[in-house]
Structure 1
Amino acid sequence: MARRDIPLTNILPNLMTVTAICAGLTAIRYGLQGNFEFAVLLILLAAILDGLDGRLARLLDSDSAVGAELDSLADFLNFGVAPGLLLYFWALSETPRLGWIAVLIYAVCCVLRLARFNVSAKSGEAGEDAYFVGVPSPAGAMLVLLPMFVSFAFDSAPFHGHLLSLYMAIIGALLISKVPTWSFKRLHIPQDRVRYILVAFAFAGAAVLTYPWITLVVGTLGYVGVVIWSLVRRGRG
């Protein structure tokens, strides 16, 4: 039986997903060691890779069932497990019982959200609308990490453990909610405005490199505004 070789480019998306998994696991390690800023940056790296691997797979026409399952497992680790643990190591260990309950609630909500999305994708229901049902898991991770962004940006002490526990549980509820959240994948840019988008992207990149935590605070709050806007717009429609 002849051996079937595949081009290296066909596995590049899966290599990116595996790299994202390694970033998420390493973030947990640095969280245990108390290096929270670097741990959060690794979660952000995982989010960037998550946004690129699927698009690269479609560009290279290398979509596969294994890649889809691997991507879902990576999402659960990077956006359902790692952010909750980082928040627990950072501030919730002061209220270990309530804090751990919040971590479990968030993680379970994340895996339920991913399971719902996978079922919708396999049945062909996903991707037909310009809105997600509930907050996507990468966005949920950024929302959960927002208190850390704020603390790093303004050099403030961690928030109270009880408040953080409630906050994390609320974000978990948003993951499995019916709240419509706008999908940026459906965004189309007029050709004559592409240059402005490129300039805005360069500005955002420079802001992240110069003032990373303030930029992340503004960006996350901006996403909250987009969710509220889409909710109002969808309700009026």
Structure 2
Amino acid sequence: MSRGMKTDEPPRELLLLKLLPNLVSILALCAGLTAIRYAIAGNYGLAVLLIGTAAALDGLDGRLARMLKSESAIGAELDSLCDNVNFGVVPAIVLYLWGLRTETSLGWIAVLVYATCCMLRLARFNVGSRAVGDVAEKTVFIGVPSPAGAMLVLSPMYLSFIPASGLTVPPFIIAGWMVGIGALMISRVRTPSLKRITVSTDYVRYVLVGGVALVAALLTYPWVTLLTLSMAYFSGIVWLALRSLRKPAS
């Protein structure tokens, strides 16, 4: 065989099951983009539901990849790109279509600021995860993660959808809220990572019952439950920020 001749290597085979995490990421992207379609049609409740579906799928794809041992560089990139669309672009556009069209200039500025902050948040997370010798965001997050940011930024919609509230949120408050949540995403505020929360085996049964109660509340009173969860999470962020500010003085 001559030195310049190349041998044809057979293509590598991959278990079809190992493509499942990437498929879940793509399904999450489809759910997020479809939310824009329903927002354009005026079905904002379904649009929010689809963003929530995208968030649930986002929490599933990484766990599937680790469980199936199919983690890859392309999977990580795909997950990050989908997150940028689902939790940066989509919530901003849905909010714009819902409550900011009367203030087009102010509303669009808020959309651009929020979407840009989400992109920067994801870029910082990706760089921190890959840097040699740098501590990845495993026990805590630095800044509000993008799925939580999307949940928080949609809070004005939850409030207005509560039947008993009868409230109409002014556009300038919606725009200010969007910019504020965007600032929290790129901030250095530490927020807890639910991945590392542990519970004693003695209390597992209570956690399971609590999970059932939470699902039942989401199905029965979705907007009240989502608003309560969002405000509880936001209060936790404020508490951690104040706690960290008091530490140097002690």
Aligned match of 1:64: 72
Shift of 1:162: 1.2
Residue 144 of structure 1 pairs with residue 157 of structure 2 = no
Q: Which of 70, 91, 100 matches 1:92?
A: 100
Give the match's secondary structure for 2:69.
Answer: coil
Tell me the secondary structure at the aligned position of residue 29 of structure 2: helix
1:190 is matched with which residue: 197, 200, 221?
Answer: 200
Partner of 1:33: 41
Q: Provide structure 2 residue ranges, at least 5 long, that are not aligned to the other structure.
A: 1-8
Amino acid at match of 1:130: T
Contact 2:125-2:137 within 8 A present in 1 as well: no
User: What secondary structure is seen at the aligned counterpart in 1 of 2:162?
Assistant: helix
Pick one of 97, 103, 109 that aligns with 2:111.
103
* Structure 2 match to 1:77: 85
TM-score, normalised via structure 1 length: 0.95
Mean alpha-carbon deviation: is it higher for 66-75 or for 8-17? 8-17
CA distance in structure 2 between the aligned counterparts of 1:153 and 1:104, rounded to whole angstroms? 28
Match of 1:53 among 40, 47, 61: 61
Q: Which residue of structure 1 lines up, in the alignment, with residue 228 of structure 2?
A: 218
2:169 to 159, 163, 174: 159
User: 1:121 maps to what in 2?
Assistant: 129
Unaligned runs of 5+ in 1: none
Amino acid across the alignment from 1:213 = W
Equivalent residues of 1:150, 1:213 under 8 A apart: yes
Aligned residue for 1:188, secondary structure, equals: coil
TM-score, normalised on structure 2? 0.90
Aligned-partner Cα distance in 1 for 2:245–2:69: 37
What is the CA–CA distance in structure 2 between the aligned matches of 1:205 and 1:55, rounded to whole Å? Answer: 21
Q: Counterpart of 1:134?
A: 143
Kept in 1, the 8 Å contact 2:34–2:47? The answer is: yes
Overall identity of the aligned pairs, in %: 52
8 Å Cα contact 1:149/1:214 also seen in 2: yes
Shift of 1:225: 2.0
Aligned length: 237
Question: Paired residue for 1:204?
Answer: 214
CA contact (8 A) 1:148 1:158 kept: no
Please list the CA deviations of residues 148-207 of structure 1 after superposition, one character each: whole Å capped at 9, or x if unmatched.
011112353541111111111111111111111111111012122111111110110111
